[in-house]
Structure 1
Amino acid sequence: MDGETRATQALRDSGMEYTITRHGKVGSLEEAAAARGVEPADIIKTLVVRRGEDDHLFVLVPGDRQISWPKLRAHLDVNRLSLPDKDVAREVTGYERGTITPFGSLTQLPVIADSSMAGRIVSIGAGAHGVAATVDADAAIIRLGADVADVTDPA
């Protein structure tokens, strides 16, 4: 099953309301937001973070923000975190960079959602380039069992 099919099936199985948007190649966050009909802050990047050997998690980061490594380390009570290389991220999730989503990941990983995404309608990747799902962030947080925390800073 391809990534888009896996992600869409997971969204359907979640019982959440969602809308799939498909668009061509975009060159910036602003172009992606325009193509999806949302503000740049409402595009959610799904990042795979390595906590240790075979220990990964997802961090959901609004488009206008970036991970604050000190905040994330403090929240997780760890000294070291890193981003795995693209091959490891694909092996863990089944998705290539730019398409990663917690929905339909090959491995169920803990999810941390930045607190700034709560209470909004957001657009999150849906398993293929140029494919996204627009969802209620609060519903997604609940369905993913996400830990909501302040783990980002303005980009």
Structure 2
Amino acid sequence: MSLESVRAFFAAHAPDIEVIVTEESSATVALAAAAHGVAPEQIAKTICVRAGEMTALIVMAGTSRLDNRKFRDHFGAKPRMLGGEDVVAITSHPVGGVCPFGLPSGIPVYCDVSLRKFQEVVPAAGATNAAVRIAPQRMADLTGATWVDVGQEPNGHVAA
């Protein structure tokens, strides 16, 4: 059902974008990078977080991490990662296939600035073996996402 909701989203809003389904799993950043022949940081991972009463999706470069201080400064609360069952209930997408496309409700989507350094990123597409190739700004435009700076590079530096 989730993969179908993503396909329906692209059919309605961006028919030029193809949902790529691979035989191998792309459920982790490393697996997705290998399956799609890109660097791990080019994978656009989507995490589902709660901050106070707000639940949101944050899309960020595959090797970036949430910076708790920057997140708290922006959203006014510490982020709390949701468990797998909650993620599926909120997004309809399985863990490893969570993406900002084809969502069942108006959950807010935020794109971290760590994605802006790429011409194209590869987010999941509603299944653990599905993805799309898309320009970060187009992804933000299609999903109504807001750009935020809440990431931290793997070496501890703040994403620019």
Query: Alpha-carbon deviations, 1:28-87, whole Å to 9, x = none?
Result: 63442131132211101111111234x3111001111111111111111x1332112211
Q: How does 1:119-138 map to 2 (within 5 A)?
A: 119-138=118-137
Name 2:100's counterpart in structure 1.
Answer: 102
TM-score (norm 2): 0.86
Name 1:32's counterpart in structure 2.
Answer: 32
Name 1:91's counterpart in structure 2.
Answer: 89
Using the aligned pairs only, state the percent identity.
Answer: 24
Q: Kindly report the root-mean-square deviation, in angstroms, between the aligned alpha carbons of the 2 structures.
A: 1.8
Q: Which runs of 5+ in 2 are unaligned?
A: 155-160
One-letter amino acid of the counterpart of residue 9, structure 1: A
Query: Alpha-carbon deviations, 1:131-150, whole Å to 9, x = none?
Result: 10111111111111211121
Distance 1:95 1:28 in 2: 14
1:134/1:84 CA distance change after superposition, 3 Å: same
TM-score (norm 1): 0.88
What SS does the corresponding residue of 1:139 show, helix, strand or coil? helix
Distance 2:105 2:26 in 1: 28
Q: How does 1:32-71 map to 2 (within 5 A)?
A: 32-53=32-53, 55-71=54-70
Shift, 1:26, TM fit: 5.3
Aligned length: 152
Q: Which runs of 5+ in 1 are unaligned?
A: none
Query: Alpha-carbon deviations, 1:98-152, whole Å to 9, x = none?
Result: 1111101112211111112125201111111111011111111111121112111
Shift, 1:27, TM fit: 8.1
For 1:79, which of 67, 77, 80 is the aligned residue?
77
Q: Which has the higher strand share?
A: 1
One-letter amino acid of the counterpart of residue 143, structure 1: L
Does residue 1:116 correspond to 2:114, yes or no? Answer: yes
Identify which of structures 1 and 2 has the higher relative contact order when contacts are C-alpha pairs closer than 8 Å and 6+ apart. Answer: 1
1:143/1:16 CA distance change after superposition, 3 Å: farther
